[in-house]
Structure formats: structure tokens, C-alpha cells
Structure 1
Amino acid sequence: MKSYLLDVWNAIDPIYYNLTRLQYVPENDNRNTLFRVRVTRYKGKQVVLSDGTVINKNDLLLKIHLHNVRMLTDLHNITSDVKRAVYVYHMIKRSLPWLANYVGIHKRKQEIKAIIGITTLYRGADRLGFEITSIKNPCYSIVKKGSFLPINFLANASCRNTPVYLFMSKERLLALYNV
């Protein structure tokens, strides 16, 4: 059944991709990373990152989305939760230099303050350079948790974590991953 649902999601994903104005972060050899991104205006409360970057309402950020259907397809045959977590960690780590390159050549590079993501699976994110910040709006947090239910179901993950923001300043991203 989950395999069937994954096939349906795979068929619907191009529509979602177009409706959300996402862009792939290109890798090499015409491949794409696990990240899909779009430039967005931040709508949350002020956040001060550890490097001193202050993110205010309406600041320009690059919102990162994991290509979940691709990730779940890759994880389909891995049954161990630990192996799955390690695999995802390394997939993201391998994609971050390409994200840094994307930001480094982006036409709005000077305006972009940071990258942002929303997730319930944030264990190990700090080791990649992300800062974890709670979502202050409880309604938004509930909506996001609900939106992650299909992903968690298909991934066989019983995630009870509350969604959080992951931030990384542009300067930190470029310092850590710009090769």
C-alpha cells in the first residue's frame, strides 16, 4: 500500500513543484540535490542567530524544502531507523555545498540573509550548522505538524516532535560549505 501511495505522490509531485514556485538546487552532471528552494519573506518573530545575524519580519530568506518523494524512494529498502537517519544526514550534508554555491551565485545574494527550513526531524541538524528555533505561533505549528503526517506515515516514522525552524545565516553557509 505504501508503495502505491509513493507512486501516486511521485505522479502528483511535479504539480506541487510548479504550484509552489520551487527551484531545484543543481548538482553536477545535470543532477539535482535533495533540496528544492524558493526565495521568501520571513513572517515570524525576530530571531538572532549565534553569529549575530538578526532576522526580522519581512527579511528575505531562502526557504529549503527536502525533495521528500525522492528521499522516501531512496529510503524505501532501508529498514533500520538508525541507517535511515544516517543516510538522510549524509544526503543533506552532501547537498549543502551545492546549496552554498546556489546562494553564492543567486541574483538576490546581497538581499538574502539566511536559509530557513521547517521540520520535525531535526536531530543532528546542529552538526550541519543549522540553528533550531521553535515556532512561536501555535496554530502554524499544528498546521505544519499535520502536513508532515503523510511523510511520516510513508517513512514509517512515528515522529512526535513539534515542528521547528532550522536557520543558517548566509555567511555561515558560505563559510562552512562554499568549496
Structure 2
Amino acid sequence: MNSSLLTLWGLWDDVYQRCTRLRYIEKGANIFRVVLLRYRGETLVTDDQQVIRNGDLILKIHIHNYYFATLCKGVKDELRLALLLRRHIMQSLPKLASYLESMAQKEEVKGIVGTTMLHKGVQPLGFSISDVPMNWFFRYKRWYLRLLLRIIHPDGKRRVQTWDTEMPLKRVYMSKEMLLQRYGASEHTTLGGSR
């Protein structure tokens, strides 16, 4: 990615951060930003059979695209890009679990939910996947993510052209129970890990 473009994106990202309710899990070290809100959408059933219904409290997760773009600078190989993203998601999930565990509203939160085109390979990490309705909001989000894909991806122009068939917009989600079981402090203590 062009260094000047990356610099401009960084300035815009700072403004965007100040204008939204998104919060960093760990700025400069975690690929997720989050916001606590009421879920609006169809009923979701997670792989561990937990149910997230319209109106339930969730932690909405957003991949910090600018941060990921800085990590990808100079990476030209598509496989390396995918592996880099997967590694950073895996490294970020324990901190996300810790963040949720420390929240005052922890007991009310039903799970984590995000919307992304980067959904391949997330099921082994504990996520469930479903389609999203193509209303005006998701059409706008798809357009925005297509723009980001073109900027970040080493072969972005071609990937955008194959978007509809190979990389549709999907909802990814995980129950609170699954997140804490797989990535929470007690699990990492049991495995001899540390925070």
C-alpha cells in the first residue's frame, strides 16, 4: 500500500474513532475494536446452541482495518496475508475474552457478533457464520468493505471483481460461554498460559 495513502487513512481513522462509540481492546496490539449494544437482527443460534435474539445485549466486534493495513504493508502474497490475519485474530481473542470478563454488564451479554467478508477459516476458532439480509445498511457496508479490500489486498482489484461469488458479506458470532471457555483466563490458567 502507498505510504501516503496509509498516512491519510490513519488520520481519517483517528477522526472516525473519536466520532463513534468503538473502544479499543488494546490499541496497537489487538485487531478488534468493540461497542456494547443491543442486537438488531434475526435470531442467531451458535454452534454450542446458545441463542442470541433481537434486543439481546451483545459486544459488537469490528476488525480494526487500519491497524491490519499497517501490519500488511509490504505483504504481496495472498496466503501470507490470510495467515497474518488468522494469527492476529487468534492472538486477539484472549484479550477480547478478558475485556468481556471485566465488564460490569458481563452477565447480560449474550455473545460477540460481527459482520465481515473475512469469514473463511473462522469456524475452527469457535465462530458460527450466517448470511446477512441485503438491506440498505448491509449494501453500504459491502461497498465500504469492497473499497477496503481493494486498498489492503495485494490483488485487490481482481478480488473485488469476484466478491459476490467468493467473498460474500457474512455475520460471524460466538456465544459468551464459548468465548470464555475457549479464550478466558481460567482456560489459559489451566493450560499453563498467562496474561
Verify same fold: TM over 0.5: yes
Instruction: State yes or no: 1:59 paired with 2:65.
Output: no
Q: Count residues in correspondence.
A: 176
Instruction: State yes or no: 1:48 paired with 2:27.
Output: no
Residues 31 and 15 (structure 1), Cα distance of their counterparts in 2 relative to 1, 3 Å cut: closer
Is the Cα–Cα contact under 8 Å of residues 2 and 154 in structure 1 kept in the other structure?
no
2:4 counterpart residue number: 4
Residues 137 and 153 (structure 1), Cα distance of their counterparts in 2 relative to 1, 3 Å cut: closer
1:18 counterpart residue number: 18
Residues 98 and 176 (structure 1), Cα distance of their counterparts in 2 relative to 1, 3 Å cut: same
2:31 counterpart residue number: 34
Is the Cα–Cα contact under 8 Å of residues 28 and 67 in structure 2 kept in the other structure?
no
Percentage of matched positions with identical amino acids? 33
1:171 counterpart residue number: 177
Is the Cα–Cα contact under 8 Å of residues 45 and 136 in structure 1 kept in the other structure?
no
SS at match of 1:33: coil
How far, CA to CA, are the matches of 2:150 and 2:6 in structure 1?
A: 11
SS at match of 1:18: helix
How far, CA to CA, are the matches of 1:115 and 1:165 in structure 2?
A: 11
Instruction: State yes or no: 1:148 paired with 2:145.
Output: yes
Is the Cα–Cα contact under 8 Å of residues 37 and 63 in structure 1 kept in the other structure?
yes
Residue identity matched to 2:22? L
Consecutive unaligned residues of structure 1, counting only runs of 5 or more, are: none
Q: CA deviation at 1:46?
A: 1.1
SS at match of 2:34: strand
Q: CA deviation at 1:80?
A: 0.3
Q: CA deviation at 1:126?
A: 0.5
1:121 counterpart residue number: 118
Is the Cα–Cα contact under 8 Å of residues 60 and 113 in structure 2 kept in the other structure?
yes
SS at match of 1:113: strand
Residues 142 and 131 (structure 1), Cα distance of their counterparts in 2 relative to 1, 3 Å cut: same
Is the Cα–Cα contact under 8 Å of residues 59 and 113 in structure 1 kept in the other structure?
yes
Residues 31 and 154 (structure 1), Cα distance of their counterparts in 2 relative to 1, 3 Å cut: closer
Q: CA deviation at 1:64?
A: 0.8
1:76 counterpart residue number: 73
- Name which one, 1 or 2, has greater alpha-carbon Rg: 2
2:168 counterpart residue number: 162
How far, CA to CA, are the matches of 2:73 and 2:11 in structure 1?
A: 17
Residue identity matched to 2:178? R
Is the Cα–Cα contact under 8 Å of residues 6 and 154 in structure 1 kept in the other structure?
no
SS at match of 1:98: helix
